[in-house]
Each structure stands twice: as C-alpha cells, then as structure tokens.
Structure 1
C-alpha cells in the first residue's frame, strides 16, 4: 500500500500540475496588475473589522475566517513539512517555497473572492462556499462532475492523518521515551496517543464551525508569536551563520547540488509541493473556510485570504527553514520530519529546545486537527446532503488513529496525492472565472475611492 501511495503522489505532482499551480499563480499576479499586493493596507483594515457588518450573510467574521484557515495551514506543514522539503530538496527548496508563496497570494485572492461571489446553498438551504460551489454556481450545473471530483478528493485530502502522525512521533520521541516511558511496543503507545487525540479533537469539532472559529481565533495568534520568539532566539545565537544560510539557499535553488542529482526541475517541484501543503494556495481548502465569512463583498474576503500565504510560508516556514539550516540540522539529523526540527531546536537550546518545540507542535497540530474537519464535512455535505454531514466527523476522528500508527511516508503521500487532485478543479474554475473577479475588483475599489472622497467632504 505504501509503495502504491508513493507512486500515486509522485505521478500526481508532475510537471502538468506544477504548470497549473505555479503558472496559474503567475497568470493571476500579472493579470491583476499586482492589485492584491497594492492594497495590502486595505486588507489589514478589513481584517481588523473596520468594515464588518453583523447582518451580512455567513457564519464567522473576517478575522475568524483567516484564523481558522491559518489554523489549518499554519500547522505541522510548517514544522514537519519544511523539514521534509529540506531533506528532499536541500536548502534551495526554501527559495521555491517563497516563489510559490508570492504567486499563492495572488491565487488566494482570486479563489477566495470567487468563494464569496459564487456561494451556493446546501440541501438545508444554508449558505456555503468553496470550489464545488464556485464550479456549479459559476460555471453551471453541467460542470457538476468537476465539483464532485473536488469533493471526493477533499474527503481524503483534508484528513488529519499527517498532523496525528507527527504529533504522535514528537510526543513519543521527545517526551515519553526520554522519561523511560514507551521504550517498548511503540505501536501500542502510538495507538494510545491516537485515541487521546480522538477524544480531545471530538470535544471541539462536534461543536461546528462557530466553535472552531472561536478556538482558532484564540490559539492561532499565540502559537505564531511563541514559535517566532523561539526561532528568533535560534537566529540570535547563530547570527554569524545567517548570511551564509541565505547564500546557500539561493545557490542551491538553482543548482540543487546537495541533493536530487542536480535536478533543478525536481527541486522546484519539491518546493511547490511543500508550499502547497503548507499554505494550500490553489488547493481549495481555504476557499471553503473563507466562503463562510460574514460578508457580501467578495473582494474584501479575497484580500484577507491573500494574507494567509504571507503569514504561513513567507514568515513561519521561513523561520523553520532558517532554524534547520543555521544549526546544520539538515546535515546531522537522521529524521526527515518533525525530528529534524527537534534536532535544530536542541542544538540551539540544549536541554530545553525539544520541549519548547513540543509546546508549539501541540498547539499547531491541534488547531489543524480542529479546522480540517470542517473542510471534510463540507465536501461530504455536497456529495450526500447536509443532514448527513455529521457522519463524516466520526470517520474523521477514527482516521486520527490510522495517522498515529502509520508511517510518515504513507501518510504524506496520500495527502499530497489528494491535494493534487483538489487543485485541478480549484485552479481550472478560477482561471475560467478570473475576468469576473477583475470586474468585481474594479467596481469595488471605485466604490471605495468614492467612499473615501465622501468622508473627506464631510470632514
């Protein structure tokens, strides 16, 4: 099974998908005239709630929508995913993650604007957003097979198995084994940790999107700040290595001499693959979360959504990558996931580094575990009806046990492959409907300009 999943993942992440994601992102960037980037300040004002209207349709406000989306994206992909990327592609892979993040900001502006623009209703009549509704409402009912394709892939692509796998690994190797616990029968200890995760996750996810949004809104800012402070300390104690680290990143990005036999194309794919896993730009998951935002202005939500890849990849993933490169952990660690990051923290903070990381990992993993369930229930609801969507959560929590006991190779290959499948409907529909977004953007910013001029007259 593991070899099948690896083959499926590698086949899915070929050059055609790279062209669709990266090429599509560059198209959005230039087609928009860099519009999202030019209105970064306005995006922050929207996020702060300056334009919130409690009477607008939707379930959560802009801040909760971004926090919930970040709760899913700023997770184990930022800690373990970056380590996997560097183990696979060397330090240069970080450069291609940065490139993917920049084009991902433009991609999220378009895909999440469309998630509001073409919201549909589930079988209970509740307003819903996401790529499956963008396809059916924006492209028409004849495109429904493409929407169903996304929803089927989403049932498996949003499973919590990677988070469960890496959280179990770090708890066992960093906390239990050094304490003389779990030194034998690792499968049963993994099973026990997995069942504990099932219990804690169930307490939150069965409360619905409002509870997920509230929990994420409280946990995400604190977890990002804590992790940033820890890595800033690592950078401080290794400050003399910082210029060399950046030089290595840029040099290896175009030579890939350290790994992959010098295959630059392979290192670009590795960077795009891990960036997509981390910030999910073009995959469609964030569109489902932002589609629940309380707003009737699609462009506002698109602007808020584009902040996701900036925070997730350009800040958090970069910090992880620098910690691993500055300490030399990418060359000395035997692990290719969270244990490589553990090695980096231990090298910089002997005795306490691993425990600091455990705190971050626990918060990162749980926020992802909470948020991913929402994506799966939306896909299940689209396929089988809203009244049955709660059944997906039972399947969801049971797969946590599978993730806790399976190998990281099998787990990450399954998620990678399904992410690739989800990207096809998301990007195809966004590319076709991109003129609609630009028309709405021109109208929106013209109205905002008139609104500001009216305020000046009144003053």
Structure 2
C-alpha cells in the first residue's frame, strides 16, 4: 500500500513547480526581485491587498462604519422560512475560516518573520474585511433558490458578471470542487495529528501510527464526517452552530487565562510586534511578506478574504438586503484574524521559544509548528501540573478547527456543484466523494506514515487559480457592488429590489418582496 501511495505522490510531482511559480510570480524573476521594496511582494499579495484597499476607500471604510450593524444583524431572526439565518451563515463560514491555520499559520509566520508579522497580519485583515464585504454582496445579489434553501457564490456571480456565459460558471465550479476535495486529505491529516496528540497526552505515551488507537481514530473520523456531510446543508449547519462557538470560546478563554497569568510579558509582546513591524528588514523583506504570502498560500492567515471560498456560505443566508450579509462576513474576518489568530500570536511571542531565550532547543522543534505551539503553551503555564491538561484541551480545539474546516469543504463543494447540476445523484456523488473517498484517503496516508506533499500541492495550485479568477471578477463587478451599497445607504437598509439598480435577479424581485 505504501508503494501505491508513493506512486500517486510521484505522479503529481509535476504540480509542485507550477504551483510555486504561480504563487511566487513575479518574484521568481531577478529583474523584478531586484526592485527595491516592490520586488519583495508577489502578484497575489499585491492583488489581494490592493483589492482590499480599493473596496475600503470606495465604501468609505465600511468595515468600521457598519461594524456594529453587522453585530446587530447576527442576532436577528431570518425573515422567512427560506434560507438560513445570517448567524448560521456566519458560523458556517467561520467553520472554514477558523481552521488549523489559526495555530499553524501564526506560529509559522512568527517563527520565520518575527513578531512584526502579527502587525502586518492585522493590517491585511483590516483591508480584507472590505473584500469579504464585496464578495458577500455579489453572492447575495446573484443567489438562486434550490427547494427551501438558497445556493450561490463564486460560480453564480462569476457567470453573471462576465457576460452571463454559463461555461464561465461551470469552469469556476469545477475549479472550486477540485480545490475543496483535494484539500480534504490535508485537513484529515491535521485532525488526525490533533486527536493523536490528545491520545498521547492522556495515555502518557506515544502511540505508533500502526497502533489500534490510530486505527480507532481513523474509523471514528470516517464515520463522523460521513454522518455529518451526507445529511446536507441542514445537518452541517446544525453541527457548525454548536461546534464553532464552543471551540472559539474554549480556545479564547484558555489563552486569555494564560495571558493574564503572564501579564508582565504584555509590554514585551507589544514592543516586539510594533518594533518588529517597522524595522526596515521586517517591513520590506521579512515579516510582512512572509506573514501575508504564507497566509495566502497555505491558508495560514485563514480568513480567506478574496479567495472566493467563503462566498457559498454568504449566499445561503436570508437577508433583507445583500449588504447585510456583507457586514456579517466582514465580521468573520475580524473574528478569525483579529481575535483567534491574535490569541495564538500572544502565545508564540510571549513565550519567545523561537528566540531561544526560553532555554528550549529551537533547532530541534522548529520543523513542527504544532510542537512549537504546544511548547510555547507549556512555557506559559505556571508549574507543570497543568501542562498535560492544557495541552490536551488545546490539541482538541485544534482538532475541532480541522473538523469544521473539513465538513465545510465538502458542503461548499456541494453548493458550488449546484451550478453544474441540481440532480440528487450528482449532489450526493460530491458528498460521497468527499466523505467516503478523500477522507479515507487522508486516513490511510496517515496510517501509512506518509504526508504526500506533492498531492497536497494540488489544492495550492487550484487555490491560486481561484484567487486569480475571483479577484478580477470582484473588480469587474465592483460597479454592481457599489450600486447595491448606495442603495442600502439611500433606503437606510430597506428591502432590496434589484431592478432599482437596473439588474435582473431571480430572488430580489418586487413580487417576492411583497
């Protein structure tokens, strides 16, 4: 079996240089890389951050002016029996955003780029909130009805914005389905790692991957994922409605306690972050480029603003106006980066394991981001009595992050697949492929002791394709976004009718609003 998996990994070896080229372009050309300051930033970074700045300015800082409005929308009930509530859609999108990247990403960014990476992470997330707003508005405007539920997202608004050509939507849908399904084995690996860490901690020993414990974990993963995703949108949202708040609250409470117990280190944290951010080598050569580039490439920053991967969640909500879900989705970026990622940043910087000052042999642990993170936690916990308990709980949170991301990938692939066909067999086929092929595939690679780096590069490759497709569509469709935004302002958030901005849509008609 190991030879079989290695053969698959070898087959996809050709993807690696292509993915690297697209993510690094044009910094992989000497003439560009030699340009002062500008030569440090890839086209993907410039495109995503530039788009965020553009929408921030054009909406007059919507992420600030309507932050409170977004919070108010979260607690209101949906207006009809169609679709899901804004809160449920928010939690569904958070299931994807709040993933392993909230721990691995920040840990990696700080380990390589220094504490200054945190500051630039905040800056990029601030502008990303405006991009998330724009994505959600387009998703809402061009959503469609499937039974008693809404479907929509990138393939749906991409088709409408680019000349109403169906083939455009089909290509976007296929790209996203490939991205989602091929990302599942990686998330399975993260989940396996987390549960394995919990088992090791509770047992006080290290289990072999061929042990009955690991086989039990694998069976549990396959069964739990299948039972969740085969039930469709309603069952997945029931799970995310419960799990997302629980894991976010537990993680935040534990980290806040650690911060309070080490309150004397807060001045060190602030000094390290802001001094590191504005050192010339960090500003133009290290932290900003690493934190942002790595966050975009591997979901390490995980808010996914501009990637189009959260647009399916934005479309399923039932709102009075498309802009309402835009406010809500902007809050998702805030929760993910400003709160969850910042919690991780506090731990890594305050423990300063990465500097070697804490007495930890940095060279021996730096290869494993999870080890760096858990070592940092242990350094901040007073004494040693609580080390195992805290390690087990946070490992479990890490596992929950991976689980919600995993089921979100399957669901969003299904929603995207609705553009191609709404036949029950086709949709169930996507669910089955995710739950009973790609998840077991990830499980088997873990049991075989493999990581198959080349195979995971497929999701990197398709992810950058989604970025390069989605962001230009947002820019082309920006006129529609701004018309909807001005309509919201002029009507003070009144019920939206698309004809009022000279757009025909299947949902936002005057008749359906009566």
Counterpart check, 1:134 vs 2:172: no
The 10-residue stretch of structure 1 (427-436 or 360-369) with the greater mean CA deviation from structure 2: 360-369
Give the drift of 1:256. Answer: 8.2
The RMSD of aligned alpha carbons is: 3.0
Q: How do 1:11-410 residues align onto structure 2 when only pairs under 5 Å count?
A: 11-14=21-24, 15-49=42-76, 52-55=78-81, 57=82, 59-120=83-144, 127-142=150-165, 144-158=166-180, 159-176=183-200, 179=203, 183-186=207-210, 192-255=216-279, 262=286, 265-273=289-297, 278-331=302-355, 332=362, 333-349=365-381, 350-387=387-424, 388-397=426-435, 398-404=437-443, 405=446, 406-407=450-451, 409-410=453-454
Pairs aligned (count) = 446
CA contact (8 A) 1:129 1:287 kept: yes
CA contact (8 A) 1:120 1:137 kept: no
Unaligned runs of 5+ in 1: 452-459
CA contact (8 A) 2:197 2:395 kept: no
CA contact (8 A) 2:282 2:288 kept: no
CA distance in 2, matches of 1:65, 1:39: 18
TM-score normalised to structure 1 length: 0.87
Change (3 A) 1:98 1:403: farther
How far does the alpha carbon of each residue in 1:268-305 deviate from its partner, in whole angstroms, 9 at most, with x for none?
A: 42354466751111111211011011125111111111
Between the two structures, name the one with larger relative contact order (CA 8 Å, sep ≥ 6): 1
CA distance in 1, matches of 2:295, 2:148: 41
CA distance in 1, matches of 2:111, 2:16: 16
TM-score normalised to structure 2 length: 0.78
Secondary structure at the aligned position of 1:242 is classed as helix
How far does the alpha carbon of each residue in 1:105-129 deviate from its partner, in whole angstroms, 9 at most, with x for none?
A: 000111101101012467x897421
CA distance in 1, matches of 2:154, 2:475: 12
Give the drift of 1:28. Answer: 0.7
Change (3 A) 1:408 1:243: farther
The 10-residue stretch of structure 1 (390-399 or 410-419) with the greater mean CA deviation from structure 2: 410-419
Pick the structure with more helix per residue: 1
Give the drift of 1:263. Answer: 8.0
How far does the alpha carbon of each residue in 1:166-200 deviate from its partner, in whole angstroms, 9 at most, with x for none?
A: 22123224423772666435598656533321111
The 10-residue stretch of structure 1 (285-294 or 328-337) with the greater mean CA deviation from structure 2: 328-337
